[in-house]
Structure 1
């Protein structure tokens, strides 16, 4: 069976995701679609709108065949580590091709860029250090260093690293070269909506950012309905009809504020991604803020992007230390792969590879062990805190007892 892998968050699953899924399957002639999906918290340091289980249900209902979880230590990370973690999981599931969306739409651009940077790695690293020394954020320094290098060597037409999906795409290609023997990469041109669009500006395609904004404002619900596949809208509508909350940082802010105020400064410095004395600025600003938005505006500097600081906020909230992440990043392979959902075709595929797998495929959280398992357990518990006492209790129980979601899709 031919397989295509997708790296996703589905927060929520919208028409752009359905387009990506459909085109990826067509472009690779795949029989099975495997998605590696972030769990409770996402790459840019945000809590997921709804639980991993509802997002898995959306994915399977819309045509994904297998959904597995990207563990916290890989999911809330800068692009390089996020991509690496996802590709390693897909490789252990024997995926033939990873397919990602990009502003380029041409996979040749990414391979050309990768080869160019590898051929000039020493110069690239030197220029990157120079840009960071100027006080620029890492993404800005990366983009500017690359622009300088490409112009110095007479290659100004190379793929731009100023767009978020191009950056991720480059790291997916890099990870396939570094961590796999045979996985190919393909890309699909992103349609209509831009990654950071704040409003729904097109009748059928919108960014996840604009959809979440509309959901929280309780406005433009007809517009929301138009940009979601019917299964996604039905699942979200039922969730809200049952008076279940949608999560955002504002829901978690009181807990985060308490965590920061009650933590000793030296312990705050041990939190992953708390660098260069940021613990002082964090504690100075947290008591001045009445909302997460306000706190981020007080905290933000030219050197640190919003996403970088949101990730740090997530690590503080979950009390994730440098020691924990550093230990997990030394692992030569994923400690386990957690299965969240599958279609009949997905179940058949897993049956064909099960004996070849060298990484445990687990279907219940009770099977999770080690540092990664304990971290994911703590993260899920913290995420559920914002749901209220009764809901939190049921969700915590669900996390341990939930078996993979099975839906007979039409793919």
Structure 2
């Protein structure tokens, strides 16, 4: 059985994601699709709209065959580490292909750009350092530094978010000597960060979340932009828990953490650097909401995304020491869900897996997974107390979701 891998968040799963899954199978001629999916906190430093279990169901109902959790230590990270963790997982589970969406849509442009940068590495790094010293954020500095290189206009546009991720996916494949063959398809209709609906059926996850949160009762109809299964599961989650997760649900917990922590202790948290600890505490003393806090905190040097990631790490007390273990490769495969075809593939592949397979947390004791446990506990604190206890226990006892073919 041939397998194509995808690296995803599904926050929430929408029509563009469904197109990506179909196109990935068609382009690779694979038998199954394997997803490396972020857990309850995401790469841009946000809580997922609904839990990883609900997003796993969305994925399985719409064409994914195996869903593995990308560990917190890679999921809430900058693009390079995010890619390293996801690619190492897809390699370990035996994927033949990795298919990602990009603004480019041309796989050769990624390889040419990587080779070009290798020949210009010192100049590129010097340009980045010089630009950062002027107060520019790292992502902006990296993009500007690239465009200052001679002949850079002939290569990939590294100012585009999906191109950046794709660049790091392919670089991870090369760095890890993975046997995965990368493929890319052109991102359809909506751009990654679009906040408004751009077509009648395709919209970015950002615009879908914005529409949901703009309705007081969260009953806004986004049905034309998401598969019926997603709409059903979103309604079910809200009916059961009374909320969709967003940063404001965690503001008082974050404020408490900041106001009871010393600057010295904050400096031990991952990504807290260059005196940021003092700005964090000062902003927490004055802000009455997460949005106000972020507006007080934001500077040219720090992107909104990076600051949100810092806030997640403060919530979970993810220290620099803990997070250093997550720069290279994943150390386990946490199975969240499978289809009938996925189960068959896993049975065939089980003895060939490159990493330990974790199907139930209570049977696995490795230290690295404790960050995932902490993240889930914090994520569930937004939910009414009466249901929190069951959810905390569920993290240890929840078996992988199995979706038979008749239920897809």
Per the TM superposition, whether the score is higher than 0.5 is yes
Residue 4 of structure 1 pairs with residue 4 of structure 2? yes
Moved more, 388-397 or 10-19: 388-397
Moved more, 254-263 or 351-360: 351-360
1:11-410 maps to which residues of 2 (within 5 A)?
A: 11-149=11-149, 152=150, 154-218=151-215, 223-329=221-327, 333-409=329-405
For residue 98 of structure 1, give the secondary structure of its aligned residue in structure 2.
strand
8 Å CA contact 2:85, 2:326 repeated in 1: no
Q: Determine the C-alpha separation between the residues in 1 that align with 2:348 and 2:225.
A: 36
Q: Determine the C-alpha separation between the residues in 2 that align with 1:287 and 1:21.
A: 46
8 Å CA contact 1:61, 1:409 repeated in 2: no
Q: In the TM superposition, what is the alpha-carbon distance from 1:156 to its structure 2 partner?
A: 1.7
For residues 171-198 of structure 1, what are the alpha-carbon distances to aligned partners after superposition, in whole Å with 9 as ceiling and x for unaligned?
0010010113311111111111111111
Change (3 A) 1:181 1:378: closer
Change (3 A) 1:243 1:357: closer
For residues 240-281 of structure 1, what are the alpha-carbon distances to aligned partners after superposition, in whole Å with 9 as ceiling and x for unaligned?
233432100000001000010011110011000000010011
Q: In the TM superposition, what is the alpha-carbon distance from 1:400 to its structure 2 partner?
A: 1.1
Tell me the TM-score normalised to structure 1 length. 0.96
Moved more, 104-113 or 367-376: 367-376
Moved more, 197-206 or 73-82: 197-206
Give the number of aligned pairs: 406
For residue 381 of structure 2, give the secondary structure of its aligned residue in structure 1.
helix
Q: In the TM superposition, what is the alpha-carbon distance from 1:35 to its structure 2 partner?
A: 0.2
After superposing on structure 2, the runs of 4+ consecutive aligned residues of structure 1 that deviate more than 4 Å are 219-223
Q: In the TM superposition, what is the alpha-carbon distance from 1:218 to its structure 2 partner?
A: 2.0
8 Å CA contact 1:324, 1:371 repeated in 2: no
Change (3 A) 1:286 1:408: same
8 Å CA contact 2:66, 2:337 repeated in 1: yes
Q: Determine the C-alpha separation between the residues in 2 that align with 1:301 and 1:368.
A: 42
For residues 301-344 of structure 1, what are the alpha-carbon distances to aligned partners after superposition, in whole Å with 9 as ceiling and x for unaligned?
00000000000000001111001111343x6x422110000001
Give the RMSD, CA atoms, in angstroms: 1.5
For residues 45-92 of structure 1, what are the alpha-carbon distances to aligned partners after superposition, in whole Å with 9 as ceiling and x for unaligned?
000111100000000011100000000000000011101110011010
8 Å CA contact 1:43, 1:76 repeated in 2: yes
Q: In the TM superposition, what is the alpha-carbon distance from 1:201 to its structure 2 partner?
A: 3.1
Tell me the TM-score normalised to structure 2 length. 0.96
For residues 355-392 of structure 1, what are the alpha-carbon distances to aligned partners after superposition, in whole Å with 9 as ceiling and x for unaligned?
11231101111133233121111111111111121121
Extract unaligned runs of 5+ from structure 2.
none
Q: In the TM superposition, what is the alpha-carbon distance from 1:222 to its structure 2 partner?
A: 6.3
Q: Determine the C-alpha separation between the residues in 2 that align with 1:234 and 1:8.
A: 20
For residue 400 of structure 1, give the secondary structure of its aligned residue in structure 2.
helix
For residues 209-245 of structure 1, what are the alpha-carbon distances to aligned partners after superposition, in whole Å with 9 as ceiling and x for unaligned?
1111111122795650110011111111222233432
Q: Determine the C-alpha separation between the residues in 2 that align with 1:18 and 1:132.
A: 39
Extract unaligned runs of 5+ from structure 1.
none
Q: Determine the C-alpha separation between the residues in 1 that align with 2:325 and 2:198.
A: 44
Moved more, 350-359 or 214-223: 214-223
